[in-house]
Structure 1
């Protein structure tokens, strides 16, 4: 990795990961009880799910990375169009940006990153599977233009997708991912959740998110200090395995439970 890749990894950890710091607020908004015991219970469940993902990655790296890419596509696609709708074609087009377009536009660089995460042989197998999906994704991407013409609410997210597609085609994968994750995905998630919170919940959530964020940074630093290996390898492993571990509980809250609450509120 060059210095710009290191900056991209740092930005992902420092600016992107903290958007999950509001998950406690999400849990309370969907009805998780308030109190010491429920608070401890929430964190134990959250940490247990994250630890389960990390353990499964250790045992089944190829399957774990494949599933992580799949659920990330679902999560990113839903988040990108959350302000516009939930139709399947825009969802598929947005969901494939990180998990299909970036690997296929920068295959050699992405395969080397995958090799760090799951080994060279598994990385080759995974890249072969992703390459097969590139043509169907391109078809959905092209179809999205016509779809946005007839549904104007999707024009703004389509323009954003075009911008990030251009960045993915011209920039190294870690940099284009960091730009997308920090500038689009994370800020959009924080803004939507923040607007849904009452004022008293906002005050509590600020300090809570700060504590979670600092705890995550300290954890990464401690693990990085004690593990052996090159700095570049460890940073890639910590970043993406850590993201995978946190994505499962985060998705269960944001894309399942919280979305169900929003649909019920919309019907009232």
Structure 2
């Protein structure tokens, strides 16, 4: 499947989600969290499964000893990041959002200037704060933040949304004036991302973008560079998916509360934070060397 097909599929699914939301057909939050957990595990996690191959392409892994060293450092960064979140969740969340802006902006590094793609990434991450501030407060407190800290983060997100939107719109106008018009599908993807961030519930918006657009496109980029097919990449990811499920089960036994949905939400995002720190540092090195 080409990147255009991923864009078209994402737009189609989001359109159905828009219609369902406007018709007031909403999935119960408990069910949505369970679906998100499954989607992130089976559709989202595979996009980091080629990190070892990326490390080999950067000559970070050249022998058994260097492979052990890489895996140890990669795992240590993830583990320390998770510990940092548990220790200082408010600072960790802000750090996660800032890092995610730069990481997700790389989705358009070939087609957009730096400022415009950072503006778009800022908008798609901060958009839910415009209409769903109460929902975000509940989500952030489930992620170990105090209510006061959650409200501060949300206010920062609202400011970021409007600044990012202005930067993005200005950049698009500049592109048009230079006669470097993107394709209709590219415009459609951007518009869908902006509408999704405002209209859809935060979890649904994030899940659709992360699992249907960001992950498969990243997987394809890495696969093309490393000459690995998407099917092969998915096959490689299976051990990581199984390991993640086992790790999640262990964490649940150790830290479970009486509410399954809270546990799932908490460890999905805190776990993503840990993995994202390791993954993003490696991908940054890869893009810098490209």
In the superposition, the TM-score normalised over structure 1's length comes to 0.88
Work out whether 1:122 is the aligned partner of 2:166. Answer: no
RMSD of equivalent CA atoms: 2.2
Encode CA deviations 1:31-58: one digit per residue, 9 max, x unaligned.
1233322221111000100111111112
Q: Pick the aligned partner of 1:141 from 168, 192, 207.
A: 168
Instruction: Give the count of matched residue pairs.
Output: 258
Following the alignment from structure 1 to structure 2, what is the Cα–Cα distance between the partners of residues 14 and 98?
23
Matches within 5 A, 1:103-114: 103-114=129-140
Following the alignment from structure 1 to structure 2, what is the Cα–Cα distance between the partners of residues 134 and 238?
26
User: Displacement, 1:155?
Assistant: 6.1
Greater shift in the superposed pair: 187-196 or 134-143: 134-143
Matches within 5 A, 1:116-265: 116-117=142-143, 118-149=145-176, 150=178, 151-153=180-182, 156-198=185-227, 208-229=236-257, 230-255=259-284, 257-262=285-290
Q: Pick the aligned partner of 1:84 from 102, 111, 117.
A: 111
User: Displacement, 1:204?
Assistant: 8.1
Q: In the alignment, which residue of structure 2 is the partner of 1:102?
A: 128
Following the alignment from structure 1 to structure 2, what is the Cα–Cα distance between the partners of residues 240 and 203?
26
Question: Which one has a larger percent helix, Structure 1 or Structure 2?
Answer: 1
Matched-pair contact (CA < 8 Å) for 2:105–2:121? yes
Following the alignment from structure 1 to structure 2, what is the Cα–Cα distance between the partners of residues 74 and 95?
7
User: Displacement, 1:187?
Assistant: 0.5
Stretches of structure 2 that go unaligned for 5 or more consecutive residues are 1-28
Q: In the alignment, which residue of structure 1 is the partner of 2:58?
A: 30
Stretches of structure 1 that go unaligned for 5 or more consecutive residues are 263-268
Matched-pair contact (CA < 8 Å) for 1:56–1:64? yes
